[in-house]
A and B are shown apart, each in its own frame.
Chain A
C-alpha cells in the first residue's frame, strides 16, 4: 500500500480534529469510517496529532488522547487548542464532489450542487467547473433515476422499474430487488433480483424510464452478484460466426465483447462472437447495413431477418 502524501495526511487530520472532544470515548473504526480512512491510518494520524499544538507547546495546549491497548478505541483528555470545527469545503473538494455527482447523472444546475457551492469559498463555482471538467454527459432524467435506485439500494426496498431491453427492443414494467450499483465505462449498472424473470439480472440505468417505490423491503443476499455487463467467465454462451466484407471495419473487443477474428484469403474477416440471447447481436449485425453477415447459428440469422424487416417497416412509414 503506497504511503499517503503528507499534504493529504494533513487534510485527513484536519478532518479528524472536530471529533476529538474532551472526555469522549470514540471507536477508531467509526472514526475511520467518518473521515474515510482506515483504522490503521487513524492510529497513525492520532500519533502525529499528539505532537501538535500551539506555542509554548505545554500540555495544556497540546492534544492529549489515550489509545486502548487493542487500538480499537481512544479517549480524549485534551481537545485540540484550535481548529476543532469542520473546515469549509476547499475548491478542489467541491470540484471532486461536482464531478462525482455529474458522473451519477446529476445535472450541473441541480440544487445539490448549489448547496455545495454555497458551502465552499468564493473561489469555487461548480457550474463554471462543469464547463471545464465533465465527468459524464448527464442526459436529462438520468439523475432522478440514479437517486431513486440508489435510495432503494440503500434501504433494501423493492421498486418497480420500467425498463427498455436493448436486445428485444421492448419496454416492460418489472419489480426488482436492487442489490448493487456500479459504474463501468461511464455507464451505471444495477444488479438486482428480477421478479418477472425470477432470477438475478443486470440492468443499465440509462435504460430505466421510471422508478416507483413499492414500500416492500427485501433481505439482501450476503454475497450479491456484481453488476458486470461483460460476458467474461460465462461458460453457457453460444458462439456466432459473423463474416465481415473485405475492407469493412471489424468491431473491437470493446464493442463486441469476446470477439475473435481471422482474416480470410479473400480479404473478408470471420469473427467468432459469444452471445447470450440472439437479439443483441442481431441488432449489431443489422446496424452494419450489409457489411456483416451472420453465418450461423440459424437462430441468429432468423433474428437478423426479423429485426431488419421490422426496422425497414418503421422507416418505410416515414417515407
Chain B
C-alpha cells in the first residue's frame, strides 16, 4: 500500500465492521458479541450499557437504511441478530436499453442538482445499478429549481423525510406581503412545479390544509421526540399531485366553476400535456379534444388560453368567452 492514509473515519469503518460481522454470523450474534468483538465498539472509549445500546441501535438503523436486512430473534433473555442474506442482496434487474438510457440520463441530470432533494440517495442507487448500466455516466447538469436551489433542496429533503416518518414540523414562513410567522404543521406531501418546491400540510393553528412555497420557509425543525413514532395520521387517499394546480385553479373555493376548452384536431396532441392530468379529456369524432376542467379564476383562465394558443379555445362559460372576445377586439384596436 503506497497511498497516504485517509483521515480517521470511525463511523464508516465501524459500520462496515458491524455489517460484515452480522453477515458472517449465520447463527446470530448478541449485542455483547458486537461490543466485545467488533472493532469500533471493542476498542472505543468506555461506555455504559445504555450508551452502547443506543449506539448499536443507531448503527443497525443506518445499515437498514442502506438496504441491509437485519433479522433479530429472542432466545431466553437474549436477543440475537444476523444479516438476512436472501433479503439483503439484489437480484439482477431486467432493464431494457430504454430503461438504462433514461435511468442514466435522469441520474446524470439530477445527482448534482442542489435543488433535487435526493441527490445523495440517487448517487448511491445508481452505484448499485452500475453493473447493469454500461456506458458510464454523462455529464448533464441541470436545475429543477432556479431560486435558492441549495436551500430549496435541503428543506425539501428534510420535509420528505418527515413526511415519510409522519413527524410534525415547524418553520418560519414569510408571506408575499413580507409578514413572517412560525407555523406548526403536519406535513403530508411535497411537489415541484416550474422551478419551485411546495409543501402540502395541515396548518395546526388554522386547522386546515395549506400550501407553502419552500422558498419562503426558514428555520425548519422536525419534532425530535420519539423519532420512530409517527405524530399524526395522513388523510386516507391523500395524493399530493391533486394539489399541484394550474394557475387558473387557484382561488377561493366558492368561486369554482366548470370550464370547457376545445383543442382543434391539429392541436389535440397538446391536450394531455397542457391539462397536466387535471379535468377530463374527451376525443370527438372530428379528432378535436374537449377538456372539461374546474377553474376558479376566469381572467387567469382566459390569459392562460391565449398564452398557450393557438388551437385551444374557450367554449364555456359563455360569458367568460364573450369577455375574452371583447378584450381581444380591444387589443387589436389599441395596437392597430
Contacts and interface: CB of A to CB of B under 8 A. Distances in A.
A43 interface: yes
B244 A134 contact: yes
A212 interface: no
A83 B23 contact: yes
A54 to B, nearest CB: 5
Contacts of A317: 313
Interface string B87-98: 111110111011
B140 A180 contact: yes
Contact of B113 (A180, A183, A304): A183
Contacts of B311: 169, 314
Contacts of B110: 100, 103, 183
Contact of A305 (B120, B141, B194, B336): B336
Given A185-B145, A315-B325, A134 B16 contact: no
A135 interface: yes
Interface in A267-296: 283-290, 293-294
A183 B309 CA distance: 24
Interface in B148-165: 160, 163-164
A290 B334 contact: yes
B223 interface: no
A202 interface: no
Q: Interface residues of B: mostly helix, strand, loop or mixed?
A: helix
Nearest to A154: B101
A318 B105 contact: no
A83 B266 CA distance: 57
B313 A92 contact: no
Contact of A69 (B2, B24, B330): B2
Interface in B265-279: 266, 269-270, 272-277
Contacts of A83: 16, 19-20, 23
A298 to B, nearest CB: 10
Nearest to B20: A82
Contacts of A138: 277
B33 to A, nearest CB: 9
Contacts of A239: none
Contacts of B69: 121
B195 A185 contact: yes
Given A81-B20, A133-B163, A7 B106 contact: no
A259 interface: no
B181 interface: no
A11 B66 contact: yes
B283 interface: no
A174 interface: no
Interface residues of B, number: 132
B177 interface: no
B161 to A, nearest CB: 8
A139 interface: yes
Contact of A312 (B6, B328, B334): B328
B168 interface: no
Interface string A92-126: 11111101110110100000100110010100000
B125 A96 contact: yes
A139 B277 contact: yes
Given A137-B244, A315-B313, A293 B335 contact: yes
Interface of B: 1-7, 9-13, 15-17, 19-21, 23-24, 37-39, 62, 64-69, 87-91, 93-95, 97-99, 101-107, 109-111, 113, 116-131, 135-138, 140-146, 160, 163-164, 188-195, 238-241, 244, 262, 266, 269-270, 272-277, 299, 302-304, 306-311, 313-315, 318, 321-322, 324-325, 327-332, 334-336
Interface of A: 5-15, 18, 33-37, 43-55, 57, 65-69, 71, 80-83, 85-97, 99-101, 103-104, 106, 112, 115-116, 119, 121, 130-143, 146-147, 150-151, 153-154, 164, 166, 169, 171, 180-188, 206, 209, 254, 283-290, 293-294, 301-302, 304-305, 308-312, 314-319
16 contacts: A10-B66, A11-B66, A18-B131, A68-B2, A99-B117, A100-B116, A115-B94, A130-B241, A139-B277, A150-B102, A164-B270, A169-B310, A185-B195, A287-B303, A290-B334, A311-B306
Given A183-B110, A183-B143, 15 more contacts: A5-B120, A11-B66, A36-B123, A52-B17, A66-B1, A81-B20, A103-B106, A104-B106, A134-B192, A150-B101, A283-B309, A287-B303, A302-B335, A312-B328, A314-B309
